[in-house]
């Protein structure tokens, strides 16, 4: 569900932020900021933070997908460490594709509205909570091998 955000975490005129809930409890947050960082230059950048107990349940891929589809931005980048395979898999399941140059230290993925999937398949027992104010809310409860580290990388 949309939230105010703070400086550097979706707050401000160019930012967007959502609280992620699972079974009525806070599971994390996802936010998009407009940043100016090489090699892309000025762009929208997404970050997702999940509580450790919420990791590995498909919540990350739903969070990426729902936030991007609800965002005002048509092109959104995700910066992460190359070793953060679980977050990369979650982002790719939400429609992100690799955009990094081989010499870059970080993994760089890009989501484009016109080429993104219309929906993301939740784990078998999960279904997103629908409604006009719930872009990053999920009721996922089955593991799907997504295990991002407890301290995600910031862009």
Residue 153 lies in a domain: no
Over residues 54-63, the pLDDT tens digits come to: 898 889 999 9
What φ, ψ does residue 94 adopt, rounded to 5°?
A: -90, 0
Q: Is 145 a residue whose pLDDT tops 90?
A: no
Which string of DSSP letters, residue by residue, matches the chain?
Answer: -EE--BTTBB-STT-EEEEEEETTEEEEEEEEEEEEETTTEEEEEEEEEE-GGGTTSSHHHHHHHHHHHHSS-SEEEEEEETT-HHHHHHHHHTT-EE---TT-SEEEEEEEGGGS-S-----TT--BPPSTT-TTEE---S--S----SSPPP-
Q: Is 149 a residue whose pLDDT tops 60?
A: no
C-beta of residue 9 within 8 angstroms of C-beta of residue 16: no
C-beta of residue 81 within 8 angstroms of C-beta of residue 149: no
Q: How confident is the model at residue 5 (pLDDT cuts 50, 70, 90)?
A: low
Residue 154 lies in a domain: no
Q: How do 106-112 and 97-98 pair as beta strands? A: antiparallel
Residue 28 belongs to a domain with what CATH number?
3.40.630.30
What φ, ψ does residue 62 adopt, rounded to 5°?
A: -65, -40
Residue 151 lies in a domain: no
Residue 145 lies in a domain: no
* 136 vs 45, residue with greater confidence: 45
Q: 87 lies in which domain range?
A: 2-138
Percent of the chain with pLDDT over 70: 66
Residue 7 lies in a domain: yes
């Amino acid at each position: 569900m949309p939230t105010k955000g703070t400086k550097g975490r979706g707050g401000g005129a160019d930012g967007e932020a959502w609280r992620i809930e699972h079974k009525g409890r806070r599971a994390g947050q996802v936010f998009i900021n407009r940043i100016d960082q090489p090699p892309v230059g000025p762009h929208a950048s997404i970050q997702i933070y999940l509580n450790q107990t919420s990791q590995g349940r498909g919540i990350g891929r739903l969070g990426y997908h729902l936030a991007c589809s609800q965002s005002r931005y048509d092109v959104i980048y995700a910066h992460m460490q190359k070793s953060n395979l679980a977050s990369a898999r979650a982002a790719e399941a939400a429609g992100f594709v690799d955009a990094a140059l081989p010499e870059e230290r970080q993994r760089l993925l890009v989501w484009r509205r016109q080429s993104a999937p219309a929906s993301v398949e939740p784990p078998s027992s999960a279904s997103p909570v629908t409604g006009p104010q719930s872009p990053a809310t999920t009721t996922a409860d089955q593991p799907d091998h997504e295990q991002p580290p407890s301290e995600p990388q910031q862009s």
